[in-house]
Amino acid sequence: MKLFDVYPLFDINIVKGKGCHVWDDKGQEYLDLYGGHAVISIGHAHPHYVEAISKQVATLGFYSNSVINKLQQEVADRLGALSGYDDYQLFLINSGAEANENALKLASFHNGRTRVISFAKAFHGRTSLAVEVTNNPKIIAPINNNGHVTYLPLNDTEAMKAELAKGDVCAVIIEGIQGVGGIQVPTPAFMQALRQACDETGTVLILDEIQSGYGRSGKFFAHQHCGIRPDLITVAKGIGNGFPMAGVLISPKFAPVYGQLGTTFGGNHLACAAAIAVLDVMKEEHLVENAARVGSFLLNELKGFKGIKEVRGEGLMIGLEFEETPQQTAFRTESIYRCQRNQCHPSASAALPEHGRSFRLPGTPAPPRINHAYNTKKLTARSGSNDCTFEPQRPHVARASKVYCRST
């Protein structure tokens, strides 16, 4: 049997991870700034996480939601305390798309309406209603295109108010920070106006924090930068640090009804053990505060580099928009690597960043350079139909506190 070929894959086979680093099957080490698509929230193979799920699977990995599972309440208690939503209710499922499906379902049960407002470049999943509220026609099948959704420009307050004033909108679903859409950040003024308009029109406000939640933005949830409280919050990705799990945080104004929502695997014992371990590490290692501190530094420093058109984001959820083409980037990067080995050509020195070849947290000593045994494997960057390839000579990795920076 062949795999159903729907993923355009990079030619890399990752086989090992530890902390902020991963290795492929050839022994090549990578600094992981991707986190498996924003999933790895506490680092690869964290000892506490490994111990917790190992003990749980050796005791009881799964039993159904027809019996008491006290681990679910422990997840709810810890998540509520750490996120500031201890008065909300928690429904556990398995994936982000499921979380958004159930949130939209709850909203429609609540007010009896069917129309949903979403936003340009939004991504909320690939199933049923979740894909219909995703602003990408290429992945919306005819069976999913049921006319429930109106897409609006992000941060357009007047357009949003005009649609909600019609009085027939079931829910507005919005990401705390758009991830797939290119790290587009809702403004506090827009979010506050949206909260007010939803209150005035009986519309349910759903915050999709699947990618932007769990501390990535320097707050537990990205919407907390805006000073609002949504009716429903969806979480996934970082909740289990790679173990499939998701949840919906539900305002007290929603009353549960037996059988209204349900799941076979959601909130199983092993998933709960993973989620509890993640929350333990986040609290003990102050990861939310770390993301705020390090992110603030990075955002400020990155704005001073040549060639960067725009820096967007909050905390460590950062997007860079570049002015140059991939081919130009490849040439400049190779030149910088050569300069690090004192092999600069006069024409290459102009490509170096204005602020030097590396950076570290203010007040920390200069980190030692660590010469890793990197091979000279070609790296390929793709942008549309343009491919560019370069061969780094020997990149160095600098470590300062919990920040891992590849020198540029």
Q: pLDDT for 241-255, tens place per residue?
A: 999 999 999 999 999
Report the percentage of the chain scoring pLDDT > 70. 80
Full set of structural domains in the chain with CATH = 47-284 (3.40.640.10), 324-408 (no CATH)
- Global pTM exceeds 0.75: yes
Contact 247, 102 (CB under 8 A): no
136-184 pLDDT per residue, tens: 999 999 999 999 999 999 999 999 999 999 999 999 999 999 999 999 9
| pLDDT, position 322 | 85
Q: Rounded to the nearest 5 degrees, what angle is found at the Cα of 19, between the Cα atoms of 313 and 361?
A: 50
Q: Which stretch of DSSP H or E encloses residue 334?
A: helix 326-340
Task: Write the CB contacts of 2 (distance below 8 Å, at least 6 apart in sequence).
Answer: none
Q: Is 287 left (phi over 0), alpha (psi -120 to 50) or beta?
A: alpha
Q: Provide the 10 A C-beta neighbour count for residue 124.
A: 29
Mean pLDDT, to the nearest integer, of 211-225? 97
| pLDDT value of position 344 | 47
pLDDT in tens, 340-354: 555 544 333 333 333
What mean pLDDT is reported for the chain?
A: 85
pLDDT at 364 (0 to 100): 40
For the sheet with 169-175, list strands across it. 89-93, 246-250, 232-235, 204-208, 169-175, 115-119, 149-152
Q: How many CB atoms lie within 10 A of CB 119?
A: 24
| Residue 286: predicted pLDDT | 97
What percent of the chain shows pLDDT beyond 90?
76
pLDDT at residue number 305? 87
Question: pLDDT value at position 386?
Answer: 36
| pLDDT given at position 324 | 74
Summarised one tens digit per residue, pLDDT across range 265-311 is 999 999 999 999 999 999 999 999 999 999 999 999 998 888 889 99
The residue whose two tokens read 């020195």 is 349
CA–CA separation, 210 vs 245, rounded Å? 11
